[in-house]
């Protein structure tokens, strides 16, 4: 009898141990849980000629920006599956390899083709989903809707699967149907509590519907079950820090930063490490709280090592936060020059929104709030193209709003606050609106 994965797809291995370890590794990866690497390495050791654990291991390397190791593992998987693998496994390996190599448009095309034939291949389906997925980082302005529509297309094949409920619910939330998205995500979370992606997706729904106290309780109750080495451990506590800022509690936000987000403490993948740290420090400062310059200097030194060159718009925007906050005009100018060259060459899918945000952040840090407003206003509706989640991108809108207030454009600031408060409850926005009444 042929061995299968958890979704009923055949596996080209005769080793029960390899198949079992691979199933476990995939579930742990889909849950964002620790033990993923160990399970996949166990599968590889049990059957070195089983291609799928090699490509899954490559994907984990890619999460942590270990590009050379990821490409090596992908090459190994390609070699194995070419001589020993089914058509489905060859397509699976190739699609993941394209994503690992940074060939986004090719990977998206391969994913769509693959899912047409094998809709229950969850590892391939996971590629475009989430705030850091292929869709989010494609530069498209409708990636939230695209994720939701893809999930709707394949929903009949998954039923009450804990992973699919998690991701489809989050897609709904980000696409604006918060109540339904939260309900579906919570259903997936109830099916598997050892699921960091579900806890994270629920927190996003709570952010959108203003359930700040409930979000804080969720983190307090759930985080002790999740190892600090977990891929989303720091980011989940970042969400808790945002909740603290809703209450104006800068001391608690800074304590969370010191505990899990600062470079000497974080165990997060590089992209999370720089974006969570930079965005929290920037928010603190923009909201009027004191941020020690040493925190910016330490975080910036680490970020420059991790992302020395432009390439990913979401990272580039956060690197601009560091450059602006540390008054490093040289670093910002060098990064902007490359970004604008790529824009001119038609090689920047996210378009002019990226350089505009970078210039606006520099203006804000220089207290030239009118210039910040001028830079951001034409691209406010395009910020979604940098990727990430709504909660992450709100940083840019917050910067625009504070710049309006500090430049004396109070009627426009009031109008924006009214729009935001209509969209979702916010203690901070309520305080700001009351101050301008």
Q: Give the pLDDT score at 436.
A: 86
Q: Give the pLDDT score at 118.
A: 98
Total length of the chain: 437
Q: Give the pLDDT score at 1.
A: 58
The answer to whether residue 152 scores a pLDDT higher than 70 is: yes
With contact defined as beta carbons under 8 Å apart, do 90 and 117 qualify?
no
User: What b/e sequence results for 136-150 when a residue is b if at least 16 CB atoms lie within 10 Å of its CB, and e otherwise?
Assistant: bbbbbbebbebbbeb
Chain CA centroid to CA 269, Å: 11
152/355 Cα distance (integer angstroms)? 34
First CA to last CA distance, the chain: 72
pLDDT tens-place string over residues 55-69:
999 999 999 999 999
Q: What is the mean pLDDT of residues 400-421?
A: 95
340/334 Cα distance (integer angstroms)? 10
What's the pTM? 0.96
Q: Give the pLDDT score at 437.
A: 77
Reported as a pLDDT band with limits 50, 70 and 90, residue 181 is very high
pLDDT tens-place string over residues 71-80:
999 999 999 9
Q: Which CATH entry fits the domain spanning 1-126: 1.10.150.120, 3.30.750.24, 1.10.357.10, 1.25.40.10?
A: 1.25.40.10
Residue 388 gets the label, from left (phi > 0), alpha (psi -120 to 50) or beta, of left
pLDDT tens-place string over residues 325-359:
999 989 999 999 999 999 999 989 999 999 999 99
Which candidate, 74, 79, 88, 84, places its Cα nearest to that of 12?
84
With contact defined as beta carbons under 8 Å apart, do 214 and 206 qualify?
yes
pLDDT tens-place string over residues 237-275:
999 999 999 999 999 999 999 999 999 999 999 999 999
Residue by residue, what is the 3-state secondary structure of the chain?
CCCECCCCCECCCCCHHHHHHHHHHHHHHHHCCCCHHHHHHHHHHHCCCCHHHHHHHHHHHHHCCCHHHHHHHHHHHHHHHHHCCCHHHHHHHHHHHHHHCCCHHHHHHHHHHHHHHCCCCHHHHHCCCCCCCCCHHHCCCCHHHHHHHHHHHHHHHCCCCHHHHHHHHHHHHHCCCHHHHHHHHHHHHHHCCCCHHHHHHHHHHHHHHCCHHHHHHHHHHHHHHCCCCCCCHHHHHHHHHHHHHHCCCHHHHHHHHHHHHCCCCCCCCHHHHHHHHHHHHHHHHHCCCCCCHHHHHHHHHHHHHHCCCCCCHHHHHHHHHHHHHCCCHHHHHHHHHHHHHHHHCCCCCCCCHHHHHHHHHHHHHCCCHHHHHHHHHHHHHHHHHHCCCHHHHHHHHHHHHHHHHHCCCHHHHHHHHHHHHHHCCCHHHHHHHHHCC
Q: Give the pLDDT score at 273.
A: 96
With contact defined as beta carbons under 8 Å apart, do 369 and 403 qualify?
yes
CA distances from 202 to 28, 33, 120, 222, 253 (A): 18, 16, 24, 12, 20
Q: What is the mean pLDDT of residues 17-37?
A: 98
The answer to whether residue 146 scores a pLDDT higher than 90 is: yes
CA distances from 124 to 49, 95, 99, 111, 179 (A): 20, 7, 10, 6, 28
């Amino acid at each position: 009898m042929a061995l299968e994965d958890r979704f009923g797809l055949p596996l080209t291995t005769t080793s029960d141990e390899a198949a079992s370890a691979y199933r476990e590794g995939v579930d742990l990866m889909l849950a964002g849980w620790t033990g993923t690497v160990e399970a996949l390495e166990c599968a590889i050791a049990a059957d070195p000629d089983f291609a799928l654990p090699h490509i899954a291991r490559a994907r984990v390397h890619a999460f942590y920006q270990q590009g050379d190791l990821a490409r090596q593992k992908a090459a190994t998987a390609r070699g194995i599956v070419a001589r020993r693998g089914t058509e489905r496994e060859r397509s699976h390996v190739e699609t993941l390899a394209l994503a690992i190599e940074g060939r986004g448009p090719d990977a998206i095309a391969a994913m769509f083709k693959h899912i047409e034939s094998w809709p229950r291949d969850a590892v391939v389906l996971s590629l475009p989903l989430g705030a850091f997925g292929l869709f989010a980082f494609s530069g498209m302005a409708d990636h939230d809707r695209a994720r939701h529509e893809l999930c709707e297309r394949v929903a009949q094949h998954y039923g009450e699967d804990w992973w699919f409920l998690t991701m489809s619910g989050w897609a709904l939330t980000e696409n604006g149907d918060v109540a339904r998205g939260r309900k579906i995500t919570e259903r997936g979370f109830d099916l598997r509590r050892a699921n960091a992606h579900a806890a994270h997706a629920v927190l996003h729904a709570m952010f959108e519907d203003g359930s700040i106290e409930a979000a804080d309780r969720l983190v307090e109750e759930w985080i002790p079950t999740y190892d600090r080495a977990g891929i989303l451990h720091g980011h989940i506590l970042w969400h808790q820090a945002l909740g603290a800022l809703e209450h104006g509690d800068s001391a608690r936000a800074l304590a969370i930063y010191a505990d899990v987000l600062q470079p000497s403490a974080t165990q997060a993948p590089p992209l999370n490490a720089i974006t969570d740290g930079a965005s929290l420090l920037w928010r603190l400062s923009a909201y009027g709280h004191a941020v020690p310059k040493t925190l910016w200097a330490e975080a910036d030194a680490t970020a420059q090592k991790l992302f020395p060159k432009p390439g990913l718009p979401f990272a580039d925007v956060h690197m601009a936060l560091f450059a602006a906050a540390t008054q490093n005009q040289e670093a910002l100018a060098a990064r902007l020059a490359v970004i604008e060259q790529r824009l001119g060459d038609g090689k920047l899918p996210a378009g002019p929104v990226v350089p505009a945000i970078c210039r606006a952040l520099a203006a804000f840090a220089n207290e030239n709030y009118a210039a910040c407003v001028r830079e951001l206003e034409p691209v406010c509706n395009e910020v979604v193209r940098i990727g990430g989640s709504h909660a992450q991108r709100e940083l840019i809108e917050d910067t625009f709003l504070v710049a309006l207030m500090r430049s004396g454009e109070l009627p426009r600031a009031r109008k924006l606050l009214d729009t935001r408060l209509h969209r979702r409850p916010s203690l901070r926005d309520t305080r700001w609106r009351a101050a301008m009444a």
